[in-house]
Each structure stands twice: as C-alpha cells, then as structure tokens.
C-alpha cells in the first residue's frame, strides 16, 4: 500500500464523523481544574479567509485555487464550496461586534491574496476595494480593543499564479510574488498590525495539497504527480519564501512599525505505539521530526533539514544553496514566536516492511490505539480528534526545548456531535471540557515546566467551510445557520470569556 494512504488523511474527510460518543466515555472521568494563567495571557479566536468570507468574485476579487478546487466535478469537497460561506465579507461589522461581546482579546484572520491582487503577481493590478475591506476590518477591531493578528497565506493562492507557473513548484517565481504581496500588506496595514504570520501550516500545504490530493490544488498520484519529490519541493519553497519575507520585514518595516513576524506550524504529539520498545519510542520521535522539524529546524534554528530526514529521503529532499543557508541563518533570530496549531495526539509505530517510494512519515504508521488496545483519548465528533491534554503539554515542552521561542497556540478546538441543530449545538459541553482541559495543560506547561506560552486562539470563531469536509464538520464557538447565516454563540463561547476572567490572576 502506498504511504499516501494514512490515518492522518481523515483530518479532511467528510466520512469520519461520530454520531454519538460512547455512553461510558472516559471524558467523564477527566476533570477541569481551572488552573491559573498569567495576567497578560491573551485569548482570542481564529479564522481563514476562504472559510468565512464568501464574496468569491465580489468587488473585483480574483479566483483562488480553492475557488476552482471546490467546484470540481465529481466534488472533492462534499458537494459544497465557499462561494458564500459565512458571508463575512458583507457581515464583518456584525462579527466584530460579536467578538467584542465575547470579550475577545485577539482576532487572528487571514488576508485573501486574490482579493487584494486578483491575479496575484508582482506586476498585476491591485484591487483597492479589497484593500479597503481589510483596512475597515482592522480599524473596527482596534476600535473595540481587539488585536488583529494577520496571516498572509492560509491556503488560497491566486489561481493566476497557479496557471502561470504552478505556484509553489517554481521557487524563484513564487518567492518574488509572495515578497511583493507581503510588502503591499505591510505597507497598507502594518501601521496597525503588530503581529504577522507568513504561512499557515506548511506541512498541510505540502502533504495534503501536493501528495495525497485532499486539498487544493489536489496533486496526487492519480493526477500524475511525482509524489516522491513534489511535496519536498513545495516545502522548500515555503521555507525560503518565509525567510525572504522575514528578511524583508526586518530590514524595511520593523524599525518603524515595531511588529513581530513568524510562521504557524501544525502538529500532533506522537506517543510510542509500544513504550516498552525502543524501536517504537524512536519512531514517535522520528515522526515529530518529520512533522515539525522539517520546517522548524531551517526556520527557527537556521540550519539544514533534520539529519533523520536526510538519511531517510536522500536526494528526494532538496539541498539549500550557500546563499539560502545564509538567508536562513540571518533570519532565524527574527522569528518572534512559535505559532502552534494543535488538536490531538496519536500513537506512532515503526513499519517492518521497507518504506514506499513516496514515504513521507519516516516509515511510520499512526493510530489512536496502541499495542495494548488503549485509546490515546476520548473521541470527539471526528475519529481522528481525541481529547489528550497530556499530549498537548508534552508537545509544548518538545517545541520549547527544541526552539526556545515563546509559543502562541494559534489554533485549538474540536467539533461536537449533532451541531447542525442549533439547540444541540449551543449546549456544547464536550467542547467546553476539551478547552478547559487544554488550558489546564497550558498552565502546567507554564508553571511546572517553565514553557513560555503567551496566548490561546480558539479554532474557530464560527462554524464555517471546513475544506474537504465542506460544512459537515463544525468547530465554531458560534453556531452558523448556513441557510439564514444567523450567528448564535454556543456555551463554549461564554465559557471562554468566563474562564479567562477567572484564570488570569497574578501569582500569590
């Protein structure tokens, strides 16, 4: 079997839902302690442009790869698309008021690249109506004391760039266009935006979009993709484009704007499938390196790809030139924080057979159950997402010990069963407990382990278009009725407001 078929691919499947948790769910035995957090700890919520904005061609916006991918027949997105989504483009004022009522400190959102440069390129026209939308959004947030945290790229590359040169597959062209786009954003918004993210989850862009084909642009073996090399070429482009933009921001904008910039990496924590066997303990560590070290080591340490990856992948993994190494070394200290998207924990097991030609895990299988039949945690509304706060704490420690950067949890959350019905959705006790347990894990990481964690952004503000799962998977702390577009806060939204009022207390 090709290594492209993975348990992890269920992340973006529409067919992975749990109708009802087991009545004897061990979640009942897990207790939220409401442990304290620093007074300066920031809480917020996060979204992505394509998932909420709608207005797909409104006011001059150009198409992104997701506008095209979500209309392919047969559908790869559960028969749904983001043409309207939550209609945030026309309802931003309402949504800002909603966040203000919930006591949100921070709103992390992404800019739609084709909304402000419809064709995407450095020589293409700028859409001033798109610029105006984000200027107004930023101003409205600041008027309500909500800090805007802006992601430059959350998976929606302009289709124009994909048509010209296949986007990430041409490093030089993409890097030049991304620098131009980023400079435009810093110029127009950087007087008010003080925290920037270059890319959201480069791992997902590389693997899910350019190896197993579940995300736009859908590259996979069936589409004729060379999956032995393409994901690593894409990752290489993302690393170098990130570094180039960090370098540009540092030299051209930081002195006057005094902002911070970094990247957001996603990652599960991996426990060994059999903790008594060194082979599987090594496998768990290797999986962490292939997942996080792939991007983290060049970006945050300014060095080559991890040696474990070089040994396993050989010539499949691109080499950095001397000039690129100097760029990485120069920009590594300028990454101001580690953006962490995290949802769950898994078990990692070494495979006994030789790796597939397009292996991307380090020849490792992953699952929610270990050798002894123990589940890694209680299930939520999707089988891949288990409640495992201890794994989260271990991940915080792993990242801190490797990179020594302050951590912002830029995404975390879970879906609950039955959330299509608003009456069921608002009483989201599972989500409340999940959030509470994970905040306790952050507190322990800070006060017991010495990890510097400075913020927590819940994924997501409101139910939205969840990529290949369409509208079937709901992560919002606010319920969205996709017929009327009415927003209804769930109990977890009020819980977040109340728990941070309780937890953020000075040390006694």
Q: What is residue 26's predicted lDDT score, i.e. its pLDDT?
A: 84
Per-residue pLDDT tens for 97-108? 999 999 999 999
Among candidate residues 34, 38, 167, the one with its CA nearest the CA of residue 508:
38
Q: Tell me the two tokens of residue 33.
A: 């302690």
Q: Is residue 157 part of a domain?
A: yes
Per-residue pLDDT tens for 422-472? 999 999 999 999 999 999 999 999 999 999 999 999 999 999 999 999 999
CATH assignment of the domain containing 198: 3.20.20.80
Q: What is residue 34's predicted lDDT score, i.e. its pLDDT?
A: 98
Per-residue pLDDT tens for 8-50? 454 555 445 444 444 457 899 999 999 999 999 999 999 999 9
Give the residue carrying structure tokens 């769950």: 344
- Of the pLDDT bands very low, low, confident and very high (cuts 50, 70, 90), residue 2 is very low
Query: One of 8, 53, 173, 201 is an active-site residue; which one?
Result: 201
Please say if 201 is a catalytic residue. yes
**Ramachandran area for residue 48 (φ above 0: left; ψ -120 to 50: alpha; else beta):** beta
Q: Is residue 314 part of a domain?
A: yes
Q: Is residue 359 part of a domain?
A: yes
Question: Does residue 128 have a cis bond before it (omega within 30 degrees)?
Answer: no
Contact 437, 453 (CB under 8 A): no
Which residue would you say has higher pLDDT here, 452 or 7? 452
Please say if 432 is a catalytic residue. no
Per-residue pLDDT tens for 358-400? 999 999 999 999 999 999 999 999 999 999 999 999 999 999 9
Q: Is residue 508 part of a domain?
A: no
Tally of domains in the chain: 1
Q: Is residue 37 part of a domain?
A: yes
Per-residue pLDDT tens for 49-99? 999 999 999 999 999 999 999 999 999 999 999 999 999 999 999 999 999
Q: Tell me the two tokens of residue 449.
A: 């382990």
Query: One of 230, 411, 419, 466 is an active-site residue; which one?
Result: 411
Q: Is residue 76 part of a domain?
A: yes
Q: Is residue 461 part of a domain?
A: yes
Q: Is residue 1 part of a domain?
A: no
| Contacts (Cβ under 8 Å, ≥6 apart) of 210 | 168, 217, 219, 225, 227, 230, 231, 234
Which domain covers residue 71, as residue numbers? 7-503
User: What percentage of the chain carries pLDDT values higher than 90?
Assistant: 94
- Of the pLDDT bands very low, low, confident and very high (cuts 50, 70, 90), residue 508 is low
């Amino acid at each position: 079997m090709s290594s492209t078929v993975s348990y992890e691919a269920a992340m973006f499947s529409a067919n992975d839902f749990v109708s009802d948790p087991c009545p004897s769910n061990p979640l009942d035995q897990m207790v939220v302690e409401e442990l304290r957090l620093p007074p300066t700890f920031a809480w917020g919520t996060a979204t992505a442009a394509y998932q909420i904005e709608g207005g797909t061609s409104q006011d001059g916006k150009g198409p992104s790869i997701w506008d095209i991918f979500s209309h392919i027949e047969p559908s790869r997105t559960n028969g749904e698309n983001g043409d309207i989504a939550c209609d945030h483009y026309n309802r931003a004022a309402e949504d800002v008021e909603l966040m203000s009522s919930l006591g949100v400190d921070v709103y992390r959102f992404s800019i739609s690249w084709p909304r402000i440069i419809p064709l995407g390129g450095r020589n293409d026209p700028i859409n001033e109506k798109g610029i105006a939308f984000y200027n107004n959004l930023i101003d409205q947030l600041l008027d309500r004391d909500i800090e805007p945290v802006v992601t430059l790229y959350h998976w929606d590359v302009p289709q124009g760039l994909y048509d010209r040169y296949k986007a990430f597959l041409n490093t030089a062209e993409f890097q030049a266009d991304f620098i131009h786009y980023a400079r435009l954003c810093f110029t127009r918004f950087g007087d008010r935006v003080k925290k920037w993210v270059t890319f959201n989850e480069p791992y997902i862009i590389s693997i899910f979009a350019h190896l197993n084909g579940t995300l736009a642009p859908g590259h996979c073996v069936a589409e004729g993709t060379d999956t032995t090399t393409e994901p690593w070429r894409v990752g290489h482009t993302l690393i170098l484009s990130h570094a180039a933009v960090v370098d540009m921001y540092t030299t051209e904008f930081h002195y006057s704007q005094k902002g911070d910039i970094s990247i957001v990496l996603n990652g599960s924590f991996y426990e060994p499938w059999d903790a008594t066997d060194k082979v599987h303990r090594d496998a768990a560590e290797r999986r962490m390196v292939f997942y996080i070290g792939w991007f983290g080591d060049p970006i945050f340490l300014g060095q080559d790809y991890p040696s474990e990856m070089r040994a396993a992948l050989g010539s499949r993994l691109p080499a950095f030139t001397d000039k690129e190494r100097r760029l990485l070394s120069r920009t590594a200290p300028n990454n101001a924080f580690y953006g962490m998207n995290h949802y769950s924990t898994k078990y990692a097991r070494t495979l006994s057979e030789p790796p597939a030609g397009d292996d991307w895990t380090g020849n490792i299988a992953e699952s929610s159950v270990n050798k002894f039949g123990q589940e890694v945690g209680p299930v939520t509304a999707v089988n891949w997402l288990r409640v495992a706060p201890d794994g989260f704490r271990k991940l915080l420690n792993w990242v801190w010990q490797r990179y020594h950067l302050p951590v912002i949890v830029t995404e975390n959350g879970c879906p609950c069963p039955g959330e299509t019905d608003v009456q069921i959705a608002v009483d989201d006790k599972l989500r409340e407990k999940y959030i509470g347990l994970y905040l306790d894990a952050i507190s322990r990481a800070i006060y017991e382990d010495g990890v510097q964690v400075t913020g927590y952004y819940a994924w997501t503000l409101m139910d939205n278009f969840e990529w290949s799962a369409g509208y079937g998977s709901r992560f919002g702390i606010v319920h969205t009725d996709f017929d009327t577009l009415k927003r209804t806060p769930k109990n977890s939204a009020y819980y977040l407001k109340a728990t941070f009022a309780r937890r953020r207390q000075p040390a006694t």
